[in-house]
Amino acid sequence: MEYQYLIVERRERVGLIQLNRPKQLNALCDALVDEMVAALDDFEADDGIGAIVITGSEKAFAAGADITAMKDFSHMDAYRGDYITRNWERVKTCRKPVVAAVAGYALGGGCELAMMCDFILAADSAQFGQPEIKLGTLPGAGGTQRLPRAVGKAKAMEMCLTGRLMNAEEAERAGLVARVVPAASLLEEALATAARIASFSLPVVMMIKEAVNRSFESSLQEGLLFERRSFHASFGLEDQKEGMAAFSEKRPPEFRHR
Ligand code: CAA
C-alpha cells in the first residue's frame, strides 16, 4: 500500500510506523489515522512481525487531533462520525505489542495515541500534555481516562485542567513512560526493545500483553484468575517445553512460534 502520511518499514521482525505529516507536526487527521490502522492490520496479519513501533519526528510525535479539520464541526458531525474513537482504538486492540517512541510534542490526541500503545519510550526532548482546555474542548481519545491511570489523579487533573505540559523526566517519575533515552538514540532503543520482545514466543508475548491489560479492566481477583488460566495454558505450548528444556540444558532457547 502507498502511504501519504506514514513511512512504514519492516526491520526484521519489527514493524515500524513513522507518522509523517511534518508541516502539521503530525496532527492526526482522519486520513493519517486510516493509514495507521491499515498498517497495523498488515503487521498484525504478518507472521514475520512480532512487535510494532510507532514513532513521529524529532520535533513532534503528534501535536494532537487535526484542529483545522474539526474546528467547524457541529455536534452532529462529531457524533455521527464518531469522531476520534471511530478507529483510533485499533491501536489498543492490536494483539501484538505496540511501543510508542516519543520525541518532542505528544499533545492532545498525540499523548492519547502514545498512551494507547503498550508502553512509551521517551526521548529526553519529549513533552506530554492534554491542552484541549485551551481550545474550549476536552480530551476525546482517552486523556481523561488513561492519564489518571498512568500518573494518578492529581497530576492528570492538573494537566487536563490547566493544559500544562509534562517533560520527559517528570513523565518517567510519574510512571507515564517506561524509560527516557537521549533523543539521538530513541529510534535505535525502541527498535532494539521491540526486537527483543519479537525474539520471544509470540503466543506467550500475546498472553502477557492480554494479562497486563486485563488488570485495568477487572477486579484483582478476576485478573489473578485470568493470569493463572493463561499461565496454565502456556504449558500447552511447544515454546514452553523448549524454554524450560533450554534452561535445564544451559543453552539459549529456540522458540518456534515467533
Ligand atoms: N492540528 C492542526 N495543525 C496543527 C496542530 C494540530 N493539532 N498542531 C500544530 N499544527 C500546525 C500549526 O497550525 C502550524 O501550521 P502552519 O505552519 O500552517 O501555521 C504547524 O503545525 C506548526 O505549528 P506551530 O507554528 O504552532 O509550531 P510551534 O513550534 O510554534 O508550536 C505546538 C508547537 C506547541 C505543538 C503548537 O503547534 C500547538 O499548540 N499545537 C496544538 C496542540 C493542541 O492543542 N493539541 C490538541 C488538539 S485537540 C485534540 O487532540 C483532541 C483530542 O483529544 C483527540
Instruction: State the average pLDDT over residues 85-90.
Output: 89
Model pLDDT, residue 180 = 98
Model pLDDT, residue 151 = 98
Instruction: State the average pLDDT over residues 23-48.
Output: 97
Site to substitute for ligand 1 among 20, 28, 36, 67, most atoms within 8 A of C-beta: 67
Is pLDDT at 219 greater than 90 in this prediction? yes
Model pLDDT, residue 138 = 98
CA 97 to CA 197: how far, in whole Å?
8
pLDDT digits (tens, 9 = 90+) for 101-115: 999 999 999 999 999
Instruction: State the average pLDDT over residues 12-16.
Output: 97
Atom of ligand 1 at shortest range from CA of 67: 1
Is pLDDT at 65 greater than 90 in this prediction? yes
CA 142 to CA 130: how far, in whole Å?
10
Phi, psi torsion values for 164, nearest 5 degrees: -60, 140
Model pLDDT, residue 153 = 98
CB 172 less than 6 A from any atom of ligand 1: no
* Nearest protein Cα to ligand 1, atom 30: 25
Question: What single-letter DSSP state applies at residue 28?
Answer: B
Model pLDDT, residue 82 = 87
Model pLDDT, residue 85 = 79
| Domains with residue ranges and CATH for the chain | 6-198 (3.90.226.10), 201-249 (1.10.12.10)
Contact present, 32 and 5 (Cβ < 8 Å): yes
Q: Is the ipTM of this complex over 0.95?
A: yes
CA 125 to CA 58: how far, in whole Å?
8
Q: Where are the alpha helices (DSSP H) in 72-185?
A: 75-80, 85-88, 90-93, 109-116, 143-151, 153-162, 168-174
CA 31 to CA 130: how far, in whole Å?
22
Atom of ligand 1 at shortest range from CA of 135: 44
Spacing, Cα 113 to ligand 1 middle (Å): 15
Among all residues, which ones are annotated catalytic? 65, 109, 112, 132
Spacing, Cα 142 to ligand 1 middle (Å): 19
CA 27 to CA 217: how far, in whole Å?
30
Of 104, 11, 121, 125, residue with least CA distance to 57: 104
Crossing angle of helices 238-248 and 202-214, in 10° steps, is 100
Spacing, Cα 247 to ligand 1 middle (Å): 51
Contact present, 135 and 105 (Cβ < 8 Å): no
**Confidence band, pLDDT 50/70/90 cuts, at residue 16:** very high
77 Ramachandran zone, left/alpha/beta (phi>0; psi -120 to 50)? alpha
Is pLDDT at 257 greater than 90 in this prediction? no
pLDDT digits (tens, 9 = 90+) for 153-196: 999 999 999 999 999 999 999 999 999 999 999 999 999 999 99
Task: Give the global pTM.
Answer: 0.97
**Confidence band, pLDDT 50/70/90 cuts, at residue 84:** confident
Burial 153-191 (b: 16+ CB within 10 A, else e): eebbeebbeebebbebeebbebebbeebbebeebbebbb
The three cell numbers of residue 79 are: 457524533
- To the nearest whole number, what is the mean pLDDT of the chain? 97
